[in-house]
A and B are shown apart, each in its own frame.
Chain A
Amino acid sequence: DTGVSQNPRHKITKRGQNVTFRCDPISEHNRLYWYRQTLGQGPEFLTYFQNEAQLEKSRLLSDRFSAERPKGSFSTLEIQRTEQGDSAMYLCASSRVAGSYNEQFFGPGTRLTVL
């Protein structure tokens, strides 16, 4: 399968614990995005990378959230001291860098439940 993959698909944790999600983009894609989708809403942009550089972060990304893409390939999203409000689907997407706008391909998401 050559699509975007995310692990784990589901994560249940207790409030206050740390969690980490992984995203593996399509191999030739330079840009990688993280989105958060809460129940009944569309996905909201969190952050994006071009290669290993994190170029933009949404105000939704509090200081408890950190994302990395150390070698410009896979990315991790860590949430520290989770809160119940962090419960959501976390989506990863990737795209090529070429000219103007390029279509983003989405992974299946990681559903986080904070108890």
Chain B
Amino acid sequence: AQSVTQPDIHITVSEGASLELRCNYSYGATPYLFWYVQSPGQGLQLLLKYFSGDTLVQGIKGFEAEFKRSQSSFNLRKPSVHWSDAAEYFCAVGAVTGGFKTIFGAGTRLFVKA
């Protein structure tokens, strides 16, 4: 069965420090992978996606993610975190069967300290 695991429930980083959010997936074929961000009271905003090709994907707001098939991982990174990055981050896999629904991880809450 398809699943997504985000091992860290919450992470705290200092403003200006680097960030890495972990994501592992379970999927039988080549996955379609996503990172979304959700601020309090807001909908989901797509940060970046991986469908095929270059395994290092660039997204909005200075985020990037690397697809590693051997590790079934799709970790999100940012070299320098801003206070406005504090939010909930969701990793997701697009399931090709059954209408292409999206399967989400439980999320990682990012706190940014001054």
Contact = CB atoms under 8 A, between A and B. Distances in A.
10 contacts: A33-B99, A33-B102, A42-B107, A45-B101, A48-B101, A101-B32, A104-B102, A105-B46, A107-B43, A108-B42
B32 A45 contact: no
B51 interface: yes
Chain B's interface size range is: 20 to 34
Interface of A: 4, 31, 33, 35, 40-45, 48, 50, 55-56, 91, 93, 95, 100-109
Nearest to B52: A100
Q: What secondary structure prevails in chain B residues at the interface with A?
A: strand
A93 B51 CA distance: 19
Given A44-B104, A91-B44, A50 B94 contact: no
Nearest to B107: A42
B48 to A, nearest CB: 11
